[in-house]
Amino acid sequence: MISGRTKVCGVIGDPIEHTMSPVMHNAAFSKLGLDYVYLPFRVTAQELGKAVEGARALNIRGLNITIPHKVAILPFLDKLDPLAEKIGAINTIVNDGGVLIGYNTDATGFLQALLEQGIEPKGKKVAVLGAGGASRAISFILAERGAKLVILNRQPARAEELAQRIAQVFKREVKALALNEENLAGILAEAEILVNTTSLGMSPEVDKTPVPARLLKSSLVVFDIVYNPIKTRLLKEAELAGAKTINGLEMLVWQGALAFEKWTGQQAPLDLMKEVATEALGHED
């Protein structure tokens, strides 16, 4: 029961209707008997600063940050975790007595999801599609792990900026290219892992894919971070090509569990969070 002692957490983004985070976190709070509640908030880019100050004023315990705010929110925070500072994007805020601290659980969540499937990225040739907030986190953690990266983005300047930032930090070459069919054909001929961080294929535009089916191959691992639908067109076509596939729900659950632990100090019930999100997504379909 919600009372004057209930701690409030939530997620801010635009759009926000697709989010599975409230389902996961509220089930986890209930399971552990914690007096917390988790709510979704649609916040436009223009209102972002006001929303952050509102969260501080209302003593909201923690927030997840989703598209399109993962980079734009940085100036409104008091402190950044070292990993988040390195990445230059966050997806989690902890309100520590009025001090707002930004973390990036996308990076570790992605890596955990990959390792859990038996995929070690060290030394592998990895193509990352997209150069937004999620791509920053994923590209940094892959570079830190020792992967050989190529970042492809529809606006090549953004891919270039991200590649240069990673190259500076890790003192190694990172390629950046325009995301088009010609470049994809060249890169995927040699790539061992493909990661889609774009929103192409996300509900309701489920017929879209960032990669033509003919470029997919059985030796590829394809990780699509889109989780609604669980099986995107990209993943369906990758399966048909004989590739190993990983869906976005894996990363969603891991990043959510890591955020949960920062807010509550308790270990997250990972299996339950995955179960309720899968069930809710099944109802969406």
User: Is residue 86 among the annotated active site residues?
Assistant: no
Cβ pair 12, 51 in contact under 8 A: yes
pLDDT band (50, 70, 90) for residue 203: confident
Reported as a single tens digit per residue, the pLDDT across 125-169 is 999 999 998 999 999 999 999 999 999 999 999 999 999 999 999
Specify the pLDDT at position 67: 87
* Beta bridge partners of residue 40, listed in sequence order: 11
Specify the pLDDT at position 18: 83
Cβ pair 34, 275 in contact under 8 A: no
pLDDT of 284 above 70? no
30 backbone dihedrals φ, ψ, rounded to 5°: -60, -45
User: Coil, helix or strand for 176?
Assistant: strand
pTM of this prediction? 0.91
* Mean pLDDT to the nearest integer, 7-26: 95
Which architecture does CATH list for 7-103+250-284? 3-Layer(aba) Sandwich (3.40)
Instruction: Select which of 31, 50, 70, 148 is catalytic.
Output: 70
54 Cβ neighbours under 8 A, 6+ residues apart:
none
* Mean pLDDT to the nearest integer, 38-44: 98
Angle at 79 between CA 115 and CA 173, to 5 degrees: 50
Locate tokens 């030796």: which residue?
219
Cβ pair 170, 141 in contact under 8 A: no
Specify the pLDDT at position 285: 43
Tokens for 72, please give them. Answer: 């734009």
* Mean pLDDT to the nearest integer, 273-284: 87
* Mean pLDDT to the nearest integer, 217-243: 97
Specify the pLDDT at position 81: 96
How is residue 146 annotated by DSSP? Answer: T
pLDDT of 8 above 60? yes
Distance separating the N- and C-terminal Cα atoms of the chain: 31
- Domain boundaries defined on the chain: 7-103+250-284, 107-246
Top CATH class of 107-246 equals alpha beta
More confident residue, 228 or 207: 207
Tokens for 44, please give them. Answer: 């436009």
pLDDT band (50, 70, 90) for residue 283: low
* H helices present in the chain, as ranges: 21-32, 48-57, 82-87, 105-116, 133-145, 156-170, 181-188, 233-240, 248-264, 270-284
Task: Give the Cα separation of 273 and 90 in Å (integer).
Answer: 21
Task: Give the Cα separation of 258 and 240 in Å (integer).
Answer: 33
Closest C-alpha to 102, from 141, 73, 144: 73
Reported as a single tens digit per residue, the pLDDT across 82-129 is 999 999 999 999 999 999 999 999 999 999 999 999 999 999 999 999
% of the chain residues with pLDDT over 70:
99
Domains 7-103+250-284 and 107-246 share a fold: yes
Task: Give the Cα separation of 206 and 180 in Å (integer).
Answer: 20
